[in-house]
Structure 1
Amino acid sequence: MAAPTLEFERSLAGPGVRFLACLDEVGRGALAGPVSVGLTVLDLASLEELPQVRDSKLLSPARREALAPVVKGWAPFSGVGHASAGEIDSLGIIEALALAAQRAWESVLDDGGTADAVLLDGKHNWLRRPEASLFDALRGGALTEARPEIRDLPVTMRIKADMDCQGVAAASILAKVERDAIMAELATAEPVFGWDVNKGYGTAAHKDAIRQLGPSVQHRRTWKLL
């Protein structure tokens, strides 16, 4: 499989588009734990290749952990945001993804970063604002102040962008490393579910533990767990 490049990111440069936010999500299909969104901001006027990055699913845990600080030093700005299992249950997975993305974006804003456009992996724009949004209702709670929303930026979708776009692959590494660390920490409190190994996904052993003990507070209780 060919390594990701910056070819597609470069094609998005143009009048009014210099800083590109590249996003990828991790944990969407898990039964427990948060959904996480990684974000890297690229300066399209001065891109440099980072050829060692790959989609996080293709890398060993040790390789991902070694690359995470390299990615942070490579991208002018970066961040990771999370939405909890409870928020997934309250909002639904699409709005929870948008909430996690906004939290990643706010960490970029806190560092003085910006972006003119978004590159999003996949074919469904989960950043798109619905007519009535529970996400907006959270702005007085989960989000502490009214700030620019990443979902208001123009979005370009690309199927398998995590495989062929370095910016998105780099974002996936950041999200995966942070989410795996969260799941390992959660496993110390409830080791029977094996989250340090399965990362909250529906393995046979994980489902057996749910059958025996029932779901925990970290499970997405509105989902079909078994």
Structure 2
Amino acid sequence: MPPPARPGPSKKPSLRVERQLQRQGHRLLAGMDEVGRGALAGPVTVGVVVIDETVRSAPTGVRDSKLLTERARRGLVPRIHGWALAHAVGHSGPDEIDEVGIMAALRLAGLRALAALEVTPDLVILDGNHDWLTAPTDVGLLAFVEPVGPATPPVTTMVKADLRCSSVAAASVLAKVERDELMVALGGRHPAYGWRLNKGYAVPEHLEALARLGPCELHRRSWRLPGVGHDDQMAPNRGATTGTTVG
């Protein structure tokens, strides 16, 4: 479906877009956002937050997770849980990213998040300009991902929805906190890569450890990992990036 009208710049997200969509008949709205797409190790993670017309303004401080400190994000989690009608987080691991590519893995994580909800949204607001959640109608990488849970609800995309829509910003916080905690736990098994601090992204200490030790089983081995030699027989780098943004 076509996206709603874009609101003007705002200092903080609001429910303005959500209310507009609800007036169009989409009572149960799900904000969805992902983290970990550009990491070199660990899962890609998708958060989803569902609201209806009875849900009031988001808890004070809800923002795109990248704009918040770790302490602020963690403090918001229980408040978001109490505010939202429903919420969930889904993951797709590095082995799945290697097998089907990052875009299909994103869809798988999003479907897992939706399947964990106790309600079925009427519409999903997806951050960005590409609908990676909906199953394709043609044959491609996404077509080989087994469906998880109920059919995918309709999707509307919005660039910078995490800056504009409270539901999407809240979803980004839940996804970021859960993935960060997972990477810290996994980092205890592989301390040399510094995941406690870098969460699997391409920062100098992580790249140095990759060059010295090579990748472990939690790295995305189909990617062109910086500082690591690549076998010509390695799986193709499907939709991967090696960006250094930590988000």
Calculate the TM-score normalised by the size of structure 1.
0.90
Distance 1:133 1:72, change over 3 A: farther
Shift of 1:124: 1.1
Picking from 88, 113, 122, the partner of 1:116 is 122
1:139-158 equivalence runs, <5 A: 139=146, 143=148, 147-150=149-152, 153-158=153-158
Aligned with 1:206: secondary structure? helix
Residue 60 of structure 1 aligns with which residue?
69
Residue 218 of structure 2 aligns with which residue?
218
Picking from 15, 18, 21, the partner of 2:27 is 18
1:52-201 equivalence runs, <5 A: 52-108=61-117, 112-130=118-136, 131-132=138-139, 137=144, 139=146, 143=148, 147-150=149-152, 153-201=153-201
Shift of 1:15: 5.3
In structure 1, distance between residues paired with 2:84 and 2:172: 13
**Is 1:47 matched up with 2:49?**
no
Structure with more relative contact order (C-alpha pairs < 8 Å, separation 6 or more): 1
Aligned with 1:23: secondary structure? strand
In structure 2, distance between residues paired with 1:137 and 1:88: 13
In structure 1, distance between residues paired with 2:221 and 2:92: 15
Aligned with 1:216: secondary structure? coil
Shift of 1:52: 1.9
RMSD: 1.6
Question: Any gaps of 5 or more consecutive residues in structure 2?
Answer: 1-9, 227-247
Residue 11 of structure 2 aligns with which residue?
2
Contact kept in structure 1, 2:108 and 2:145, CA below 8 Å: no
**Is 1:205 matched up with 2:205?**
yes
Aligned with 1:209: secondary structure? helix
Shift of 1:12: 0.7
In structure 2, distance between residues paired with 1:97 and 1:209: 27
Shift of 1:164: 1.4
Aligned with 1:156: secondary structure? strand
Paired-residue identity, %: 47
Higher helix share: 1
**TM-superposition CA deviations, 1:136-170 (whole Å, max 9, x none):** 65538xx5xxx3133xx211111111111110000
In structure 1, distance between residues paired with 2:143 and 2:78: 33
In structure 2, distance between residues paired with 1:125 and 1:181: 27
Residue 4 of structure 2 aligns with which residue?
none
In structure 2, distance between residues paired with 1:16 and 1:10: 10
Matched residues, number: 215
**TM-superposition CA deviations, 1:10-44 (whole Å, max 9, x none):** 1111454100111000000000000000000010x
